[in-house]
Amino acid sequence: MGGNTFQYFSRNPQGGKAREWDQKDFDEYLKYAKENGIEVILTHAPYTLNCASAKDEVREFALMCMEDDIKKLENFDNALYNFHPGSHTGIGVDKGIEYIIEILNKIIYPKMKTTILLETMSGKGSEIGRSFEELKRIIDGVKYNDKIGVCLDTCHVFSAGYDIVNNLDSVLDEFDRIIGLDRLKAIHLNDSMMPFNSNKDRHEKIGEGTIGLLAIVNIINNKRLKDLSFYLETPNDIDGYIKEIALLKEKRIWD
Ligand code: FE
Ligand code: FE
Ligand code: ZN
C-alpha cells in the first residue's frame, strides 16, 4: 500500500480470541520488516477490553488479554501496544481511573520492553481519556510509568474539544504541559464525520471530514510531530488506503 509502518489488532477486535504464537510467522515478519524498512509498528488491543468496568469479570478478562498480548510482544525489542483506557459505565471517572491503574500495575514489570500506549478518546458515553488531564492521572498512578506512552487520535481529540484545526500548536503546548510530549509515541491519523467538541467517535476519510485536508497536512508536517509514526484508521478499502498514503506522502515536506 506504500506505507512503511502499520497497525494491527492483537486479537479479534470485537471479541478476544487470539491466534496461537507462531514463531515461523514471526521470523518471516522480521525478515520482511528489515527488507522493507519497517521499524515501528503498532499493536491495538481489542475494543471489547474495558479496564475501567464495574464488573470484576470484565476487568479480569482485560487483564488476561493484555498480559497474554504483552507476553507475545516481548519478542520484539520495542513494541508499542495501544489500548482504549476504558469506560467507567456509571461508577465514575475516579473509580474507573483507579481500576485502570490497578491493571497496569499488575501487568507492567521493570524489565518489560513493550511500551503501553493510552489512546486519547472522544469522550463518548463514560469513556475515560477524553482529556489530557485524565490520561495524566493514569500515568501518575502507574509505578513503572516509563513504560507508558500516549497515542493521539486526531479524530478523537477533535471530537473531545481540542481544536487541532485552528490551534494545533496550542493543543500541543497543552499536551506538553500536562503530559509531556516525550510521552507521545504514535498518531492515529483520521478525519472526523462529527463536529468539533461533539464527543462522537466516527472516523472519516482524509480530507472528507470536519478536520479537513489542510489541518491533516499541518499535522503530518508539524515539527513536533514529524518524527512519529502515523496510522490511518479511515473507512477505506485497500485502494482507498493506497490513495491516502500517496496523498500524504505528496503533501509531506520532510524526508
Ligand atoms: Fe483505537
Ligand atoms: Fe484510534
Ligand atoms: Zn475512533
CATH number at residue 35: 3.20.20.150
Nearest ligand, CA of residue 46? 1
pLDDT by residue (tens digit) across 136-153?
999 999 999 999 999 999
pLDDT higher than 90, residue 16: no
Instruction: List the shell of residues around ion ligand 1, using CB closer than 5 Å.
Output: 119
161 lies in a domain? Answer: yes
Q: What is the pLDDT of residue 37?
A: 93
Q: Is 86 left (phi over 0), alpha (psi -120 to 50) or beta?
A: left
Ligand that lies nearest to the alpha carbon of residue 118, given by its number in the listed order: 1
Residue with cell 474507573: 96
Does residue 233 sit within a domain? Answer: yes
Residue 155 counted as domain residue: yes
Whole-number pLDDT of residue 92:
98
Q: Is residue 1 part of a domain?
A: no
Ligand nearest to the CA of 192: 3
| 159 domain residue, yes or no | yes
**Distance from Cα 121 to the centre of ligand 1, integer Å:** 8
Report CA(55)–ligand 2 centroid distance (Å).
25
Model confidence at 244: pLDDT above 90: yes
DSSP states of 115-131 as a string?
A: EEEEEP----TTEE-SS
Which pLDDT score is estimated for 255? Answer: 82
Dihedral of the alpha carbons of 3, 239, 168, 152, in degrees to the nearest 10:
-60
What is the Å distance from ligand 2's center to 17 Cα? 21
Q: Provide the number of structural domains found in the chain.
A: 1
Residues at Cβ < 5 Å from ligand 3 ion: 201
Measured in angstroms, how far is the CA atom of residue 116 from the centroid of ligand 1? 13
Using DSSP's 3-state secondary structure scheme, residue 180 falls into coil
- Give the three cell numbers for residue 3: 506505507
What tens digit of pLDDT does each residue of 208-241 get? 999 999 999 999 999 999 999 999 999 999 999 9
Q: Does some domain include residue 241?
A: yes
Q: Name residues with Cβ closer than 5 Å to ligand 2, which is an ion.
A: 153, 188, 233
In the structure, what pLDDT confidence band is assigned to residue 48 with cuts at 50, 70 and 90?
Answer: very high
**Burial environment of residue 83 by CB neighbours within 10 A (0 to 12, 13 to 18, 19 or more):** buried
Cα–Cα distance measured from residue 237 to residue 112, given in angstroms and rounded to the nearest whole number:
36
**156 Cα to the center of ligand 3, angstroms:** 6
pLDDT tens-digit readout, 161-188 = 999 999 999 999 999 999 999 999 999 9
Domain containing 147 equals 6-251
**138 assigned to some structural domain:** yes
Domain presence at residue 197 = yes
* Ligand 1 center from residue 144 Cα (angstroms): 23
User: With 90 as the cut, is the pLDDT of residue 15 above it?
Assistant: no
pLDDT recorded at residue 126: 98
Ligand 3 center–CA 199 separation, angstroms: 11
pLDDT at 49 over 90: yes
Mean pLDDT (the chain, rounded): 97
CA of 84 to the centre of ligand 1 (A): 6
pLDDT in tens, 184-207: 999 999 999 999 999 999 999 999
Closest listed ligand to the CA of 49: 1
Which ligand is nearest to the Cα of residue 233, counting in written order? 2
Taking only the tens place, the pLDDT of each residue in 73-129 is 999 999 999 999 999 999 999 999 999 999 999 999 999 999 999 999 999 999 999
